[in-house]
Amino acid sequence: MKHHLKEFLARLVAFVGRHLSAQAPSLESIYQLELSNIRNGILKKTPENPVLRGFKVYSQNEEDGIIQEICNRIGISQGYFLEIGCGNGLENNTHYLLLKGWRGTWVDGSETRVRLIAKNIPLRSSRLLVLQTYVTKTSIADVLGKVAEHSGIPCPDLLSTDIDGNDIHVLKSIVGKIQPKVLCVEYNAKFPPPDVITVAYDEKHAWVRDDYMGASLQAFVNTLRGYKLVCCNISGSNAFFVRSDYAHLFTEYPVEDLYQPLRYHLCSMRTGHPPSLKFLRALLAEADK
């Protein structure tokens, strides 16, 4: 009798657990609802904001769609990019561009990450150059030289930087030498406009996952005089600028209206199955036949 009662109770608990799980919203659905509410707020305040066209394929957040929208507006279909801080290639701002016909250069300071890339794709091909180097104000000249050699053009169309520290200092050095049409920069969203905050330049700086990293959005706006801020992504991690000669293609909004606060929890949202470098490997092999 006791055995049957225990078995019945166990089945009842399991049934109730399954029922509650089925009724309770998933974390993903909660994030989707939050994202929808945020987008509605952006639509009301800045209806022409490129972030409203954002989506994720291989980017961490919705950068893939934002970059596509910005490039469509200024007339770039298949350009050349430079991404500094490309990670292991599985998730960055330009992987998707390669699949759409772009060429470019990936740069990362981590030997481990570049080694993982090398296990999957060649580090040099006609479509992609991968460099393992720690970028500083001094070393950037050598990087730009290799980019020019690989691209065959004096300046890439798109520059993306994510080096968790000296970003604004290195970026200032870059735009003093070349002026890409589009910039995607990681900003420190802890500090809203009009705060002007930046880390002191230190070639040995290493981010220890605290708030001492990068620069505030206003610091980038003040530094990038030849560029116009056009949007920030919803998670509050990347800001997008266009060169001044393309500024007329974008509605001008105040910096404080384009600023997005920290929402790093949204970075965990998934899109489809786990990413790989397999599509890219096949594409590079076909291009170099």
Digit-coded pLDDT (tens) for 48-62? 999 999 999 999 999
- How confident is the model at residue 11, as a pLDDT? 57
- Model confidence band, residue 25 (pLDDT cutoffs 50, 70, 90): low
What is the domain partition of the chain in residue ranges? 26-287
- How confident is the model at residue 1, as a pLDDT? 44
Mean pLDDT of the chain: 91
For domain 26-287, the CATH class is: alpha beta
**44 has a pLDDT exceeding 90:** yes
Q: In angstroms, rounded to a whole number, what is the distance separating the alpha carbons of residues 285 and 209?
A: 37
Q: Which of 23-27, 107-111, 138-142, 284-288 has the lowest mean pLDDT?
A: 23-27
- How confident is the model at residue 267, as a pLDDT? 77
**224 has a pLDDT exceeding 50:** yes
